[in-house]
């Protein structure tokens, strides 16, 4: 692990500003003091990960600890983002948690087929949602040993 | 006799007188012999003609071709002036008709396509011709024919006339007419027989033609039926395509409901909670109560959306038929229910070995809903009882019957007056605070049961329990 990576980053890919605010609120409430980078659609997410577009010149060796990925996104959707992450040698082991509203069988199948590490359905109840975020943070940021990228 | 032979006979006789007598005798013998040879030659020609007529019959040529060729051959063989096939108009009572084919000496007029009416024929002659009568007239003016008959024959310059019936089976179809126009003519017995034979063979051709016409009509009918079937098929295919499109649309709709309708609810619930957490000191108890109501309403709506999605998924998901152990499914669900509320005293009676063919996920939904209901509606009992089992649809003849499954409880039951409302979505028979629920469960059960070809119904009494019955296959009618 490189010395710079003590600054752990969560990449939240979310186009709905309410969901973004609620997710950030939940993370903060549970003192998951990581830096949260928000990409508002698939293109932004890919630009961040590969240092292109609005993130041109970013040091891409600094990778997020986990990507929280919504599926329904403007421009490039979540499946496509996931596919590109898994396709690219530099990011293929990156932990990706699908965080979405749908529990359609087809979405679950597609997500796991493309290699997501986890699939969470956003509950309507904020307390449940907050609890899900807390567990996610605990698990992926504190308990899980990330791949040696 | 050739001269060489005669010379030899003379040598053998050695007597001029005897030779003269012998020669006389021989020439007397020769004449009938020559006549017989002539007759035999005619018969050979007749046979040839018959043969060619029969050959044509076997080739299944059309009637017109057969008539035309036969008329020409017969005319040539008999050296007649006209040979014609006369056809009666159907349903004219054998009074009207026309020549449909002929071979005629170019010196005489054609008889084709002139409508001929003979008002006495139908009454007086048709029946006799039907039985094979032959009219043999050597001279029309000396045969005692009626005036109208003579008038018709004269129209075509007929002097001698030989007429035999053309029979299609036993039906008098028409007449085969041999006319002599130049002179009267004495018809020979062999000629008459020959013409009868020809008419017989033409009768076969007529029957062939009738059969062919029937066959063609049948083929045409079949083709039409096929065409109609194809059109129906086409329509059906179109309907399937449309149905698939509708289904896809429905799927897209459900998908967007699943995604988009829930998102605002999360905001409502989330920010209400945020208000409660961050601004608690600025809210009095009424304000706090309002926010809690907002939260609970949005959560209920979230649940409703989920249940509706389940209901729609039950309808559109693909069916996979396999052997399903309903008893095992029921036990597992009951164990989970007991596990969730270990304090409740409920006796489960589950009949074992109830295996059926169906979609396991959908049948799980059925049993979950029915057993959850039974669990819910027995919650006021100190000691409840929930049963799952099957009875035979037709106890008298069990091999004809299909099993009727049932889930029975001794809970609060329901008033049979409202039984029709049970299976409609969002219909509830109990108040929310008594027994929570959305009124989606039984609607879902009904859809699954219908998809399996079965039906579902209920019996109940207020405060005395309820029984839900369902089948998973079509009941044979009248069994």
- Render pLDDT for B173-227 as a digit per residue (tens, 0 to 9): 999 999 999 999 999 988 999 999 999 999 988 888 888 889 999 999 999 999 9
Q: Are residues B298 and B380 in the same domain?
A: no
CB B460 within 8 A of CB B407: no
pLDDT at B399: 52
Query: Which tokens is B445 given?
Result: 């059960």
Asked whether residue B73 is assigned to any structural domain, the reply reads yes
Percent with pLDDT over 70 in chain B: 94
B426: helix, coil or strand? Answer: coil
Which pLDDT does position B88 carry in this prediction?
A: 92
Asked whether residue B461 falls in the same domain as residue B328, the answer is yes
Q: Are B371 and B388 within 8 A, CB to CB?
A: yes
Co-location of B257 and B345 in the same domain: no
| CB atoms B258 and A102 under 8 Å | yes
Closest CA to B130 of B77, B166, B181: B166
Report the gap between the CA of B250 and the closest CA in chain A (Å).
14
Residue B128: pLDDT band (50, 70, 90) is confident
What is the number of structural domains in chain A?
1
Instruction: Tell me how far apart the alpha carbons of residues B341 and B346 are, in angstroms, rounded to a whole number.
Output: 10
Report phi then psi at B324, rounded to 5: -125, 125
- Tell me if A143 is assigned to some domain: no
pLDDT on residue A1: 37
**Whether the Cβ atoms of residue B333 and residue B367 lie closer than 8 Å to each other:** yes
Chain B residue with Cα closest to A124: B266
Contact B95, B76 (CB under 8 A): no
First to last CA, chain A: 8
Residue B430 lies in a domain: yes
| Residue B19 located in a structural domain | no
The pLDDT of residue A57 is above 90: no
* Dist. CA B101–CA B71, nearest whole Å: 8
Has residue B402 been placed in a domain? yes
- In tens, the pLDDT along B250-275 reads 777 777 776 778 888 889 999 999 89
* Set of chain A residues whose Cβ sits within 8 Å of the Cβ of B265: 124
CATH of the domain at B330: 3.30.565.10
Mean per-residue pLDDT of chain B: 86
pLDDT digits (tens, 9 = 90+) for B162-188: 999 999 988 899 999 999 999 999 999
User: Residues B405-458: pLDDT tens digits?
Assistant: 999 999 888 888 888 888 887 777 676 666 667 677 888 899 899 988 898 999
Strands B466-470 and B456-460: antiparallel
Domain assignment present for B81: yes
SS (H, E, C) B364-425: HHHHHHHHHHHHHHCCCCCCEEEEEEEEECCCCCCCCCCEEEEEEECCCCCCHHHHHHCCCC
- Is residue B428 one of the residues assigned to a domain? yes
| Site from B255, B257, B262, B266 to mutate, A interface, most A CB atoms within 10 angstroms | B266
What single-letter DSSP state applies at residue A15?
-
Mutate to test the interface with B, among A25, A111, A125, A129 (most CBs of B within 10 A): A125
CATH number for the domain spanning A102: value is: 3.40.50.2300
Of residues A20, A17, A76, the one with CA closest to residue A48 = A76
Contact yes or no for A101 and B302 at CB 8 A: no
Q: Mean pLDDT check: name the lowest of A30-34, B82-86, B135-139, B326-330.
A: A30-34
Q: Which residues of B93-130 are buried (b: 16+ CB within 10 A; e: fewer)?
A: ebbbbbbbbbbbeeeeeebeeeebebeebbeebbeebe
Question: Nearest to residue B72, comparing CAs of B85, B61, B62?
Answer: B85
Q: For residues A113 and B272, what is the distance between their CA atoms, to the nearest angstrom?
A: 37
Higher pLDDT residue, B479 or B18? B18
Same domain, B291 and B390: no
Number of H helices, E strands in chain A: 5, 5
* φ/ψ of residue B113, rounded to 5: 65, 15
Instruction: Indicate the helix (H) or strand (E) that contains B229.
Output: helix B189-256
Which two structure tokens, joined as six digits, stand for B120?
């006495």
Residue that is written with structure tokens 């809903």 in the block: B369
Asked, for residue A73, whether it belongs to a domain, the answer is yes
Give the integer Cα–Cα distance in Å for B196 and A53: 106
Q: Is B210 buried (19+), middle (13-18) or exposed (0-12) by CB count in 10 A?
A: middle
- Given a contact cutoff of 8 angstroms between Cβ atoms, the answer to whether B140 and B150 are in contact is yes
Pair (B162, B130) in one structural domain: yes
State whether B166 and B254 are in the same domain. no
**B1 part of a folded domain:** no
Note the pLDDT tens digit of each residue in B346-370. Answer: 999 999 999 998 999 899 999 999 9
Closest residue by Cα to residue B327 from B364, B354, B365, B347: B354
- Determine the number of helices (DSSP H) and then strands (DSSP E) in chain B: 12, 13
Residue among B255, B266, B299 whose CB faces A19 most closely: B266
What per-residue confidence (pLDDT) applies to B162?
A: 94
pLDDT band with cut points at 50, 70 and 90 for residue B396: low
A-B contacts at Cβ under 8 angstroms: 60
Average pLDDT score over residue span B64-79: 90
* Number of domains forming the structure of chain B: 3
> How far lies B358's CA from each of B311, B326, B443, in Å?
18, 10, 19
B163: which residues sit within 8 A by CB, 6+ positions away? B134, B135, B175, B176, B177, B178
pLDDT for B75? 93
Q: Establish if A122 touches chain B: CB-CB under 8 angstroms.
A: yes
- pTM of model > 0.90: no
Which of B6-10, B41-45, B449-453 has the lowest average pLDDT?
A: B6-10
Shortest alpha-carbon distance between residue A24 and chain B (Å): 12
Chain A residues near residue B301 by CB distance under 8 angstroms: 124
- Among the candidates B314, B330, B351, a domain finishes at B314
Does B342 share its domain with B310? no
Task: Please check whether residue B131 lies inside any domain of the structure.
Answer: yes
Q: Which residue has the higher pLDDT, B393 or B325?
A: B325
In this complex, do A18 and B302 lie within 8 Å of one another by their Cβ atoms? Answer: no
* Residue-level pLDDT at A149: 64
Please state, in angstroms and rounded to a whole number, the distance separating the CA atoms of residues A52 and A55. Answer: 5
Work out whether strand B171-180 and strand B82-88 pair parallel, antiparallel, or are unpaired.
antiparallel
Query: Do both B329 and B392 map to the same domain?
Result: yes
Q: Are A131 and B275 in contact (CB under 8 A)?
A: no
Say yes or no: A102 contacts chain B, CB-CB below 8 A: yes
Q: How far is CA A53 from CA A44, A56, A64, in A?
A: 8, 5, 18
Quickly state the pLDDT bin for B395 (edges 50, 70, 90): low
Short-list B140, B151, B125, B216, CA closest to B179? B140
Indicate if the pLDDT at residue A75 is higher than 50: yes
pLDDT at A103 over 80: no
Query: C-alpha angle B231/B233/B237, rounded to 5°?
Result: 120
Q: Cβ of B271 and A22 within 8 Å?
A: yes
Q: Which domain holds residue B88?
A: 60-187
Task: Specify whether B146 is located in the same domain as B256.
Answer: no
> pLDDT digits over B102-123, tens only?
999 999 999 888 888 887 777 7
DSSP-H helix ranges across B257-284:
262-278
Range B232-257 average pLDDT: 84
- Interface of B to A at Cβ within 8 Å reads 254-255, 258-260, 262-267, 269-274, 295, 298-299, 301-303
Residue B398: is its pLDDT beyond 60?
Answer: no
B4, two tokens: 């060489």
Q: Indicate whether A146 belongs to any domain.
A: no
Q: How far apart are CA A19 and CA B165, in angstroms?
A: 102
**Do both B177 and B271 map to the same domain?**
no
Examine residue A86 and state whether it is found in any structural domain, yes or no. Answer: yes
* Residue A40, in any domain of the structure: yes
| Residue B389, strand partner residues | B406
Q: How confident is the model over B121-149, as a mean pLDDT?
A: 85
The yes-or-no verdict on residue A5 having pLDDT over 60 is no
**Pair (B410, B451) in one structural domain:** yes
Domain-embedded: residue A147: no
Same-domain check for residues B324 and B461: yes
Last residue of a domain, one of B141, B171, B187: B187
Instruction: Tell me the Ramachandran region of residue B319: left when phi exceeds 0, alpha when psi lies from -120 to 50, beta otherwise.
Output: beta
* Percent share of chain B, pLDDT over 90: 33
Q: Which two tokens stand for residue B36?
A: 């017989």
d(CA B136, CA B176): 12
Residue A101 to residue B262, Cβ atoms within 8 A: yes
Residues of B in contact with A28 (CB under 8 A): none
Domain with A127 in it: 3-137
- Environment class of residue B251 by beta-carbon count within 10 Å: exposed (0-12), middle (13-18) or buried (19+)? middle
In 3D space, the residue among B205, B259, B229 whose CA is nearest the CA of residue B57 turns out to be B205
State mean pLDDT over B316-334. 89
CA-based nearest residue in chain B for residue A18? B267
Cα B313 to Cα B305: distance, rounded to the nearest angstrom: 12
Judge: B273–A127 Cβ closer than 8 Å, yes or no. yes
- Whether the CB of A101 is below 8 Å from some CB of chain B: the reply is yes
As a whole number of angstroms, the distance between CA A114 and CA B342 comes to: 41
CA gap B55, B49 in Å, rounded: 10
CA distance A18 to A24: 10
Interface probe, candidates A30, A72, A126, A131, chain B, greatest B C-beta count within 10 A: A126
Q: Please state, as a whole number, how many other Cβ atoms lie within 10 Å of the Cβ of residue A56.
A: 9
Give the model's confidence band at A116: pLDDT under 50 very low, under 70 low, under 90 confident, else very high.
very high
């Amino acid at each position: 692990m490189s010395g710079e990576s003590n600054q752990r980053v969560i990449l939240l890919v979310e186009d709905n500003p309410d969901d973004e605010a609620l997710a950030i609120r939940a993370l903060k409430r549970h003192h998951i003091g990581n830096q949260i980078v928000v990409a508002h659609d698939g293109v932004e997410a890919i630009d961040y990960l590969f240092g292109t577009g609005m993130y041109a010149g970013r040091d891409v060796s600094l990778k997020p600890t986990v990507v929280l990925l919504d599926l329904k996104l403007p421009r490039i959707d979540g499946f496509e983002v996931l596919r590109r992450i898994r396709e690219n040698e530099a990011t293929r082991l990156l932990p990706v948690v699908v965080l979405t509203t749908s529990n359609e069988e087809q979405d679950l199948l597609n997500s796991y087929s493309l290699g997501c590490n986890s699939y969470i359905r956003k509950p309507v109840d904020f307390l449940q949602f907050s609890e899900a975020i807390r567990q996610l943070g605990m698990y992926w940021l504190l308990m899980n040993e990330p791949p040696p990228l | 006799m050739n001269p060489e032979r005669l010379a030899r006979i003379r040598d053998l006789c050695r007597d001029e007188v005897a030779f003269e007598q012998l020669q006389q005798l021989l020439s007397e013998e020769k004449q009938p012999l020559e006549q017989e040879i002539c007759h035999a030659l005619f018969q050979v020609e007749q046979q040839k003609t018959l043969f060619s007529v029969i050959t044509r019959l076997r080739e299944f040529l059309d009637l017109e071709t057969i008539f035309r060729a036969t008329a020409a051959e017969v005319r040539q063989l008999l050296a007649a002036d006209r040979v014609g096939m006369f056809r009666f108009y159907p349903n004219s009572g054998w009074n009207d008709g026309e020549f449909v084919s002929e071979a005629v000496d170019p010196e005489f007029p054609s008889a084709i396509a002139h409508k001929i009416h003979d008002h006495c024929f139908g009454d007086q002659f048709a029946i006799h011709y039907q039985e094979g009568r032959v009219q043999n007239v050597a001279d029309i003016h000396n045969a005692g024919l009626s005036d109208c008959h003579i008038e018709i024959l004269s129209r075509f310059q007929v002097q001698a006339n030989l007429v035999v019936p053309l029979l299609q089976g036993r039906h008098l179809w028409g007449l085969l007419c041999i006319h002599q126009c130049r002179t009267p003519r004495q018809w020979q017995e062999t000629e008459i027989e020959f013409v009868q034979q020809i008419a017989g063979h033409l009768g076969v051709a007529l029957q062939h033609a009738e059969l062919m016409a029937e066959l063609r009509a049948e083929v045409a009918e079949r083709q039409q039926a096929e065409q109609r079937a194809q059109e129906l098929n086409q329509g059906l295919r179109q309907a399937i395509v449309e149905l698939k499109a509708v289904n896809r649309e429905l799927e897209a709709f459900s998908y967007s409901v699943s995604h988009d309708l829930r998102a605002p609810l999360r905001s409502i619930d989330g920010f209400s909670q945020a208000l409660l957490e961050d601004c608690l000191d600025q809210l009095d108890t009424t304000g706090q109560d309002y926010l809690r109501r907002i939260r609970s309403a949005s959560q209920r709506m979230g649940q409703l959306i989920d249940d509706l999605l389940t209901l729609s998924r039950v309808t559109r998901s693909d069916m996979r038929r396999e052997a399903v152990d309903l008893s095992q499914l029921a036990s597992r669900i009951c164990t989970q229910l007991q596990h969730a509320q270990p304090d409740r005293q409920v006796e489960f009676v589950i009949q074992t070995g109830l295996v059926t063919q169906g979609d396991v996920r959908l049948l799980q939904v059925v049993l979950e809903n029915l057993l959850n209901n039974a669990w819910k509606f027995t919650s006021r009992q100190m000691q409840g009882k929930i049963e799952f089992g099957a009875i035979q649809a037709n106890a008298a003849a069990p091999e004809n019957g299909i099993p009727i499954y049932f889930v029975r409880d001794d809970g609060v039951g329901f008033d049979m007056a409202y039984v029709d409302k049970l299976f409609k979505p969002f219909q509830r028979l109990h108040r929310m605070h008594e027994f929570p629920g959305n009124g989606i469960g039984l609607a879902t059960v009904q859809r699954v049961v219908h998809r399996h070809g079965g039906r579902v119904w209920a019996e109940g009494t207020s405060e005395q329990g309820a029984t839900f019955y369902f089948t998973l296959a079509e009941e044979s009618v009248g069994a």
